[in-house]
Structure 1
């Protein structure tokens, strides 16, 4: 049996954010040291204690949790993007769906490869969970019955929520993750997410008369 490790409070907060289990307001920082957390809660495989200092080629529990949530969120978004060609003839939306869909499929493959490398279980721990940034089955059903402007509005809301949450948890992974390739991946996700959020904002603006 492994000895329990003490997990610094900033990383406990990141773990709560990355796993998506806390949906309310951010947890306020404690003024007393947190209780020890059993190492058994960490995924199996070559995952070191979260408190490991300095660069490492191993995965922390935060790295693995972020990768797992990235996979789960991406798998929920892709069906939305896939239905765009049959729901709208708007060329801007078709270009957006093709671009974001291709990028997210690459991200999904990259996240799965890193999870395999980490030794984490292949099962999805977020199966059936409805968390921030995830499109629910009910929302997909509504999208399938929509088209035109109604579809644009709903799809835009879901894509914006997904991208905003991806940026949020990706930023947390950059700050608290330990595995270099995983934190670099998070950096790329944050950068791409911010770019797409800006593009979405521009698409939502009404055209200016005379331009």
Structure 2
């Protein structure tokens, strides 16, 4: 005798089996997704993680040598001869300057700019860059001409003081212009710090020289 199976019961059994199969597949699929995620975060680094790690390692390995850029190099190459000319102008004050404030300012210029020249030379040596790269006389704001220097050397007393003040104002304004370019475009922290010092000290000296001119 064949056993009678209720159609409703058969339908319920089939539905249960399908549901169980679906749950089993979902469980397997979920485990696979979790495994892939786990490999991205643990077993095998993701592409973005690997790239970030490589960039960090490169930055660390390069050290300070990788901190400079072309703007830093040009700043040092141009500021060295610019400072050197300021020192030449300051040396002319010996035996020529008469004003006490001019004489004091000359000493301050020598005290500040000579060490900065030595510092910038050490940067270029560390960076493997030449001290001169053909910038002299090109794009160097505030540089005096040979004629300017001859006229300054020929002056004495109050005439020297006035001419020195006029020329040094223009010279300092050129240095401040170059330093501000370094502040905006440079990368090396030490170079940007010197640029900050140049802007601060020479802007103050420009104001002082202008005051001196009003009473000479």
> Normalising by the residue count of structure 2, what TM-score does the alignment of the two structures yield?
0.65
- Cα distance, 1:118–1:159 mapped onto 2, change above 3 Å: same
Structure 1 unaligned residues grouped into runs of 5+? 1-54
Higher helix share: 2
Task: Quote the offset at 1:127 in angstroms.
Answer: 4.2
What is the rounded CA distance, in whole Å, between the counterparts of 2:167 and 2:124 in structure 1? 26
> How far is the alpha carbon of 1:198 from its aligned partner?
1.7
| Larger radius of gyration between Structure 1 and Structure 2 | 2
Q: Distance in 2 between matches of 1:139 and 1:200?
A: 18
Q: Which runs of 4+ in 1 moved over 6 A?
A: none
2:186 paired with 1:177:
yes
Moved more, 121-130 or 153-162: 121-130
What SS does structure 2 have at the residue aligned with 1:86?
Answer: coil
Match of 1:83 among 92, 101, 104: 92
Question: Post-superposition shift, 1:130?
Answer: 8.3
1:122–1:131 distance in 2 versus 1, CA, 3 Å:
closer
Give the structure 2 partner of residue 150 of structure 1.
159
2:169 corresponds, among 149, 152, 160, to 160
| Aligned counterparts, 1:28-177, within 5 A | 57-123=66-132, 125-127=134-136, 131-177=140-186
- Tell me by how many angstroms 1:124 deviates: 5.1
Instruction: Please give the alpha-carbon distance, in whole angstroms, between the structure 1 residues aligned to 2:115 and 2:101.
Output: 21
CA distance in 2, matches of 1:106, 1:199: 22
Task: Let me know the Cα RMSD of the aligned residues.
Answer: 2.1
- Further displaced range: 56-65 or 109-118: 56-65
In 1, the alpha carbon distance for the partners of 2:103 and 2:119 equals: 24
The 1-side partners of 2:127 and 2:65 are apart by: 13
CA 1:114–1:159: 2 relative to 1, 3 Å: same
SS at the partner of 2:200? Answer: helix
CA separation of 1:117/1:56 partners in 2, compared to 1, >3 Å: closer, same or farther?
closer
Judge conservation of contact 1:71–1:111 (CA < 8 Å) in 2. yes
Instruction: Give 3-state SS (helix, strand or coil) of 2:74's partner.
Output: helix
Partner SS state of residue 111, structure 1? helix
SS in 1 for 2:144: coil
**For residues 181 and 123 of structure 1, do their structure 2 counterparts lie closer, same or farther at Cα, with a shift above 3 Å needed?**
same
